[in-house]
Amino acid sequence: MSTHHREHRLLANAAAEQIARASGVVRHDIALTLGSGWAQAAGELGETLAVMPAHEIAGFRKPVLEGHSGEIRSVRLASGKHLLVIGARTHLYEGHGVAAVAHGVRTAAAAGVSTMILTNAAGSLRREWKPGTAVLIRDHINLTGQSSIEGATFIDMSEAYSRRLRELVLEVSPDIPEGVYVQFRGPQYETPAEVKMAGIMGGDLVGMSTTLETIAAREAGIEVLGISLATNLAAGVSAEPLSHEEVVAAGQAALPQLVELLRGVLDRL
């Protein structure tokens, strides 16, 4: 194992220890990363045992985005399982590197998590997915040109987004559409030509997160469920220009359905 590897692991272990100390929960079962628009769901999933400002936990930073809570929360679910809610995500476009991006997942792994739910807000290539539509991520295309792992680590990605977990979501929400999420580095939104390219490649959603976290989770042996909230039609799909305010507003309007979906899934895990 490389020195880098060991440093990342040590930082994640330190963070997990802080979380265990603050919450009194030695091992968490499930982690949930909340993307833009999903933050408000955090308090509605079970009994909160502890809330911590993420920047007080090793390796996390203050969120730069409206729509991210910047909190890490330990929640006891009705089932008795322990959920770690990560309301702080570092994006590749912030420029802190891939290790910062993967830190939430590595912390979840160090906290004992075996299932990771990654949520995000995304642009949609499908006109029929109106702003506020939740979409199950079936697969991804990583266009960042980067990976969150290093070395001769040949992780199998043939079912990166667990079929078992997707089927479970379909039990809760039979009409939820499925799509392929394409991650661009950002921070600029795509040009219409780039969106068209993503579509030709087989993409349905465009965003700036998730794929590098999924890779880190698969490396750690964690089962991944990905859910996007389609908050805008991608550039060129609609005549409207893109705005972050639109994203936040669509998230707010969709919140009750998102909470219901998450609760349904968490109940079955």
Buried b (16+ CB within 10 A) or exposed e, 42-58: bbebbebebbbebeebb
Say whether residue 206 binds ligand 8IG (CB under 6 A): yes
Q: Return d(Cα 109, Cα 164) in angstroms, integer.
A: 20
Say whether residue 236 binds ligand 8IG (CB under 6 A): no
Which residue's CB is nearer to ligand 8IG, number 25 or number 34?
A: 34
Among 11, 19, 54, 234, binds ligand 8IG (CB under 6 A): 234
Say whether residue 160 binds ligand 8IG (CB under 6 A): no
Kindly state the tokens that stand for 108: 């979840």
Which residue's CB is nearer to ligand 8IG, number 249 or number 259?
A: 249
The CA-based diameter of the chain, rounded to the nearest angstrom, is 51
Kindly state the tokens that stand for 218: 């698969």
Shortest distance (Å) from residue 184 CB to ligand 8IG: 5
Summarize the chain as % helix, strand, coil (round to 5): 35, 25, 40
CA 45 to chain centroid, in Å, comes to 16
Q: Do the beta carbons of residue 60 and residue 19 sit within 8 Å?
A: no
Among 25, 207, 226, 255, binds ligand 8IG (CB under 6 A): 207
Shortest distance (Å) from residue 210 CB to ligand 8IG: 10
In this structure, are strands 115-124 and 178-183 parallel, antiparallel, or unpaired? unpaired
Say whether residue 231 binds ligand 8IG (CB under 6 A): yes
Which residue's CB is nearer to ligand 8IG, number 30 or number 101?
A: 101
Which residue's CB is nearer to ligand 8IG, number 36 or number 119?
A: 36
Q: Do the beta carbons of residue 68 and residue 51 sit within 8 Å?
A: no
Among 121, 212, 222, 265, binds ligand 8IG (CB under 6 A): 121
Q: Is 190 one of the catalytic residues?
A: yes
Which residue's CB is nearer to ligand 8IG, number 75 or number 234?
A: 234
In this structure, are strands 133-142 and 115-124 parallel, antiparallel, or unpaired? unpaired
Nearest-CB residue for ligand 8IG: 123
Q: Which stretch binds ligand 8IG (CB under 6 A): 52-60, 99-107, 154-162, 185-193?
A: 185-193
Residue 238's alpha-carbon distances to 2, 28, 158, 249, in angstroms, are: 46, 42, 32, 17
Among 59, 63, 87, 123, binds ligand 8IG (CB under 6 A): 123
How would you class 178 by CB atoms within 10 Å of its CB: exposed for 0-12, middle for 13-18, buried for 19 or more? middle
CA 118 to chain centroid, in Å, comes to 3
Please tell me which residue in 71, 190, 194, 213 is annotated as part of the active site. 190
Among 82, 103, 184, 227, binds ligand 8IG (CB under 6 A): 184
Catalytic (active-site) positions: 190
Q: Interface residues with ligand 8IG (CB under 6 A)?
A: 36, 121-123, 184, 186, 189-190, 206-208, 231-232, 234, 242, 247
